[in-house]
């Protein structure tokens, strides 16, 4: 069972052997865009299983082919919000586990004057306060986009938020801890640092380019 990071109380890093095996392939520079997309979805699906551990359920009475019995079903409305564009690659994996989840879309770009992220696309379901909102983005580098996304979703009514990423940098984790200390981050790896250009090292390169073959 994943545990909270000893240094960062807002971070859980997955050490599951299957996730780490797939991470070795998605990091590999020789992995092409087709297997990269498949790995991205697979890892997201494996991670969301644990991320949803605290989701509320309610008892329901059902009938099996043999008799009536009590079961449990998710009792809240779940929303998944990818940060475009690379976050789209994680949605399929999440929906393979939670097909009943709603999907919003949030596109962010950097303002050349302020250097801060601004939303160029915001298409969100209504009633975000009806249940957990899971934000997905493969990379948490500086944390600017993730923080802006969480702020935007809070303004839209979201209350229960969590972030799934494949690779996180300490700088991004600290930014999120400063801006949104109540939002838990779930990552497959905590890498060393970010470069002057904002790339995570060792990282996996530009996830969007590798996913769509635009390298």
Q: What is the pLDDT of residue 113?
A: 67
**For 8-32, how does the pLDDT look when each residue is reduced to its tens digit (9 = 90+)?**
999 999 999 999 999 999 999 999 9
Residue 191 lies in a domain: yes
Owning domain of residue 53: 11-212
Residue 121 lies in a domain: yes
Cα–Cα nearest to 181, from 147, 213, 208, 212: 147
Instruction: Band the pLDDT of 116: cuts 50, 70, 90.
Output: confident
Cα–Cα nearest to 187, from 12, 16, 1, 37: 12
| Residue that is written with structure tokens 């990282």 in the block | 203
Return the sign of the alpha-carbon dihedral for residues 78, 97, 140, 113: negative
Does pLDDT of 73 surpass 70?
A: yes
Q: What is the mean pLDDT of residues 189-208?
A: 91
Residue 5 lies in a domain: no
Q: What is the pLDDT of residue 111?
A: 67
Residue 126 lies in a domain: yes
Residue 117 lies in a domain: yes
Residue 1 lies in a domain: no
Does pLDDT of 68 surpass 90?
A: yes
Residue 136 lies in a domain: yes
Structural domains in the chain (count): 1
Residues 6+ apart with CB under 8 A from 38: none
User: With pLDDT > 90 as the criterion, what percentage of the chain qualifies?
Assistant: 80
**For 121-180, how does the pLDDT look when each residue is reduced to its tens digit (9 = 90+)?**
999 999 999 999 999 999 999 999 999 999 999 999 999 999 999 999 999 999 999 999
Residue 72 lies in a domain: yes
Q: What is the pLDDT of residue 109?
A: 77
Q: What is the pLDDT of residue 139?
A: 94
Assigned token pair, 168: 């996180």
For the domain that residue 167 is a member of, what is the CATH number?
Answer: 3.40.50.2020
């Amino acid at each position: 069972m994943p545990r909270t990071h000893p240094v960062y109380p807002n971070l859980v890093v997955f050490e599951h052997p299957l996730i780490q095996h797939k991470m070795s392939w998605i990091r590999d520079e020789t992995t092409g865009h087709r297997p990269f997309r498949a790995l991205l979805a697979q890892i997201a699906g494996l991670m969301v299983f644990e991320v949803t551990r605290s989701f509320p359920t309610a008892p329901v009475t059902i009938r099996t082919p043999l008799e009536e019995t009590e079961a449990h079903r998710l009792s809240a409305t779940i929303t998944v919000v990818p940060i475009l564009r690379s976050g789209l690659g994680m949605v399929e994996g999440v929906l393979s586990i939670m097909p009943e989840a709603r999907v919003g879309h949030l596109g962010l770009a950097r303002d050349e004057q302020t250097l801060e992220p601004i939303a160029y696309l915001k298409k969100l379901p209504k009633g975000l306060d009806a249940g957990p909102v899971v934000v997905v983005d493969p990379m948490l580098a500086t944390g600017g986009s993730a923080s802006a996304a969480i702020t935007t979703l809070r303004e839209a009514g979201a209350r229960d938020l969590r972030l799934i990423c494949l690779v996180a940098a300490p700088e991004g984790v600290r930014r999120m801890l400063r801006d949104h200390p109540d939002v838990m981050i779930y990552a497959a790896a905590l890498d060393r640092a970010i470069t002057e250009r904002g790339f995570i090292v060792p990282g996996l390169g530009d996830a969007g380019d590798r996913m769509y073959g635009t390298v």
